[in-house]
Each structure stands twice: as structure tokens, then as C-alpha cells.
Structure 1
Amino acid sequence: AEQAKILVAEAEENNLGHKALNERFARWHTCGLCEQRHHGVVLCALGWACWKTYVGRPETDAHRLVAMSVLGNGLSAADYNEEALTVREAELAMLRRADAPEYNTLSVMSNLAIAYEALGRPEALQAKRDVYYGYLKLQGDEHQHTLNAASNYAWGLVQLERFEEAKALFRKTIPIARRVFGEGKELTLRMRWLSAEALYKADGATLDDLRE
């Protein structure tokens, strides 16, 4: 944690630019040796250290905003789900007060949906729906973020046994994923697998359904 703090401070002091600053800030969540993300209680501890380092800055400071996200990720990784939800809600409220770009807001809303889901909260599905339609409006139906959000929303529908809605969404989005990203893309494969799960779990699935 201390190394990350020093590296970021040096980048700021010497005006090394956004690329160098972002690379150094990544030390708060990624190992500088193996370049793998930290996880579990280690990420949680780093999240708290990161937040304590930048919490005194103005609310709209970029490092303070990212530090809150790192804290939320750490709490979630360590299964402190109630605390993670509190952080995500505060983060979203802060971005809205700052009139942040919609892209940043949607990213936080996606994390908020995950926090709701981890706690079994009914708000999870509405949050996933809002994220999907938000990306659809912002980036169009062929963007990877939109298709990822569609997949998450459809799977939320499956979990609530709203199979017809899920199948309709998959029928709309899977052909786009196949056309834009190809058959072997991880996103395409994931969407097809989730679609198959939806068909398998649905009562009264027809032979035509199973052929899809």
C-alpha cells in the first residue's frame, strides 16, 4: 500500500501524464510483479488503505472517486456485501452530484447491481435492466458493454424464471454478438451458454427451442 501511495505521489508531483498515473494507481489493486489482480482479504485491505489515502481530497477529485471504487471492489471480494452495497450507493450518489459522464455512472450502476444480487435484493434486476438500456442508448446495440449488460440482464430474468423475456432478449442480442465478435469470442459463447440454460430450465421447451 505504501509503495502504491509513493508511486502515485511521484507521478503527480512530476506531471508524468495520465498513462503513467493510471499504471501506478493500478498498484492499489494489481500486483506489480506478476501483474495479477489481488483478491479476497488482500484486496479488501488495499481498498481501505487506498480510501484512507485519498478520502481527504475534494469529492470530485479523480483519485478520490477511483479510491471509492477500489474500496467497493475490496469489500465485495472479501464478502462484506452489506458494506460493499453502502459504498456503491454512496459512489453512485457522488457521481450524480458531480454530473459525471454517463459512461462512468453506468459502470458504477453495474457494480451496484452485483452488490444487490450478492445480498439477494430484488433491486438487482431493475439495476441490470437500467444498465442495459443505458448502454444501449449511449453506445448502441453492437458495443461489447451493451451486449455484456444484455447478458447480465437476461440471466437475471432466468433466475427469476421469467424465461420468455430472457429468451426474447437472447434472440435479439446473440445474433448481434455472433456477427460483430464471431462465434469463438468469449462473450458470444457465454451468451449462447446462458441462452441454453434458459431453454433447459423453461417448462414446456419445444424441440425448436432446443435446436437454437
Structure 2
Amino acid sequence: MVKQIYLIRHGKIEWNQEKAYIGQTELLLSKEGIEQAEKLQKYFSNIPLDKAYTSPMKRCQDTLAIILAGRTISKTIVDEFKEISMGDWEGKPFSEIKRTDPDAYEKRGAEIDRFTPPNGESFLDLQQRVMPAFYKIIMDEAAENIIILGHSGVNRVILSTIFGLNLKEILKMSLPYGSVKKIYFDQEKEQWNYENG
């Protein structure tokens, strides 16, 4: 059996300030984010789906609710799919961290895979949290067509891990708001393939 997994990033969030570390900060979808979710609803309207899994964060649950409006598809909240924790850096602008802790700012850039902000997580930590939950979903024999609604960090970790990419390159991967990556898993061959949605 070949499973189809639609790995979706939530729609754009309400954040009118400068670029900042947004991990587990709860934010709503912006008007543009809602429109992105509505486009995804149209995209999926004629695609068969068996199950949907989502991060517990509101921006993901709201995106999924719009996508699946009017459909009776099993939805499961997966706590492990919460976005990476930025700890004490949560919500702080890049410029502030660069100014107040330049060494840590530079270290994160140089060691993106293993750098941990104070009281936060590294991408290696995130990988250890996300991947067991992801593999458990893939092993569910009953579901062939699956949506996973996640975040930039979570989805990048999944893609990097299953395709054997180095986590040091994780931020080079393009994953805009409202994007879909369609992944195929051939259970017999234990082989992954993907296409952009």
C-alpha cells in the first residue's frame, strides 16, 4: 500500500511587528491566513481523506477547521506536533536578541540543529519529540490519505528526517504559510517520495 500524507503549514498569523522568535506563542490567523486556508479547502474539496492530525495550537486547529468544513473526517490533536519552543526568546524580535545576547544569536545561526535558547528546544529536541508521533501515524494501517497540519519547524523536521537531510540545513527549506507538501510512503518498499502541493 502507498500512503499519501499531505503535510500542511498553517495559514499566515497576525503579527504586525518586526521579525521575531515565534514558537509556542498562541497567535490567531490573519485575514490573509484565513484566505490561504479557504484556498486549501478548495484544493482538498475533491481529494479523498481518511484522517487528519493537527498541532494543538490554535493557528493549526483553525486552519484545519476551514479546510475540513462540511466534511466528516476524523481529527486528532497531537501534542507532539506543537511548534518548537523558543523558551525565553519567545516573542522577542531578532534584533533584540542580536543586541542583548550577540554570542547566542551568532551561535544559533552557526549551530541551528543543536542550539537551545534558554528554557527552549533545539531542532534536535524537536526531532526527538515529533518523529515518534509521526511514525505512529504512518503505521496506522487503516488510513491511506492523511492530513498533518503543522508548523514551519515541525514540518521541516519531518521532511528533513524522512529524506535524510541534515538538520543544519533546515532553514534553507522553503515552507511558506499555507503550503502543502504531498508525501508518499510505499510500505512494501519502505520508500518515501514527495511532490509540492
State whether TM-score is above 0.5: no
Higher relative contact order (CA 8 A, sep 6+): 2
Decide which structure has greater helix share: 1
TM-score, with structure 2 as normaliser: 0.27
**Structure whose alpha-carbon radius of gyration is higher:** 1
TM-score, with structure 1 as normaliser: 0.25
